[in-house]
């Protein structure tokens, strides 16, 4: 079965420190991986997807098929990065379904 | 010009009641979803409709009945509400020919007393 694991429920870092939010997935085919973010009192929105290989708000994520990981990284955390981050897995034949991880709450402290 | 809108945003009701949440998207997307976010912030898919046709129906009690009158609308009706139904319900839509991105509504917070 398809599964997404985010081992950290809460990650607390100081402003300016590097951030890494972990995500591992379980799927034997060709996955589509996404990171979604939910800022306080706002709707979930797409942060980035592995296909586009882009950097958004300083965040990057590389798909590592060998380790089945899609960790989210940022070299220097900002206060406005504090939010809930969800890793999500889409897959062929999944009926357009996205399976979400349990989420990691990132707290950036001054 | 909100892309995905849900009503109501907040709903407080007694156990045993029946309630509905409505969702509309003006993005012209083909697929719409209902997700449930529980108190631990777990986000789990409930239903998905593609062009008014049900394509995903996860293990959800049959007290939950989605209805899609047209591809721009997906409503969720819940019968005989239970305490465990308290959650935030998110509607989302997706363009099948696009990038795969889901566009979410703001959520409807349901509290069952």
pLDDT tens readout for residues A61-94: 989 989 999 999 999 999 999 999 999 998 655 5
Strands (E), chain B: 4-7, 10-13, 19-25, 31-37, 43-50, 53-57, 64-70, 73-78, 87-94, 102-104, 108-112
Q: Is the pLDDT of residue B39 over 70?
A: yes
Do A43 and B100 make contact, defined as CB atoms within 8 angstroms?
no
* Residue of B42, B48, B90 with shortest CB distance to A44: B90
CA distance A84 to chain B (A): 9
Residues belonging to chain A? 110
CA distance A41 to chain B (A): 8
Chain B residues with beta carbon closer than 8 angstroms to that of A86? 43
Residues facing B5 on adjacent strands: B24
Task: Note which residues in 34-93 of chain A have CB less than 8 A from chain B.
Answer: 34, 36, 42-46, 49, 51-52, 84, 86, 90
**Chain B residue closest to A33 (CA)?**
B100
Write the pLDDT tens digit of every residue in A28-62: 777 889 999 999 988 999 999 887 778 889 999 98
Write the pLDDT tens digit of every residue in B48-75: 998 888 888 887 889 999 999 998 999 9
CA distance A35 to chain B (A): 10
3-state secondary structure of A81: helix
Report the C-alpha dihedral over residues B113, B106, A104, A82, rounded to 10 degrees.
-120
Do B94 and A51 make contact, defined as CB atoms within 8 angstroms?
no
CA distance A54 to chain B (A): 14
Percentage of chain A beyond pLDDT 70 is: 95
Q: What is the pLDDT of residue A12?
A: 97
Write the pLDDT tens digit of every residue in B91-107: 999 887 766 788 999 99
3-state secondary structure of B84: helix
- Tokens of residue B84, six digits: 């465990």
Mutate to test the interface with A, among B35, B40, B43, B54 (most CBs of A within 10 A): B43
**Chain A residue closest to B101 (CA)?**
A46
Report the C-alpha dihedral over residues A102, B50, B108, A91, rounded to 10 degrees.
10
CA distances from A59 to A30, A49, A55, A56 (A): 23, 11, 5, 5
Q: What is the pLDDT of residue A95?
A: 58
Mean pLDDT of A3-26: 96
* Residue of A32, A51, A100 with shortest CB distance to B43: A100
Which pLDDT band holds residue B5 (cuts at 50, 70, 90)?
Answer: very high
**Chain B residue closest to A92 (CA)?**
B100
């Amino acid at each position: 079965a398809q599964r997404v694991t985010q081992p950290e429920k809460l990650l607390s870092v100081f402003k300016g420190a590097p951030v890494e939010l972990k995500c591992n997935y379980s799927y034997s085919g060709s996955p589509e991986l996404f990171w979604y973010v939910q800022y306080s009192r706002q709707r979930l929105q797409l942060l980035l997807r592995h296909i586009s290989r882009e950097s958004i708000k300083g965040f990057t994520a590389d798909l590592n098929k060998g380790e089945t990981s899609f960790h989210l990284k940022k070299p220097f955390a900002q206060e406005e990065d504090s939010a809930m981050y969800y890793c999500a897995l889409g897959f062929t034949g999944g009926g357009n379904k996205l399976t979400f991880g349990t989420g990691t709450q990132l707290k950036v402290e001054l | 010009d909100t892309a995905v809108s849900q009503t109501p945003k907040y709903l407080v009701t007694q156990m045993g009641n029946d309630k509905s949440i409505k969702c509309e998207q003006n993005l012209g997307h083909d697929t719409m979803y209902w997700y449930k976010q529980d108190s631990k912030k777990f986000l789990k898919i409930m239903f998905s409709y593609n062009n008014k046709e049900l394509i995903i129906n996860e293990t959800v009690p049959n007290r939950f009945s989605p209805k899609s009158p047209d591809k721009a609308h997906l409503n969720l009706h819940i019968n005989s509400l239970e305490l465990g139904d308290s959650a935030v319900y998110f509607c989302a839509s997706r363009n099948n020919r696009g990038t795969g991105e889901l566009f979410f509504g703001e959520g409807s917070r349901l509290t069952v007393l």
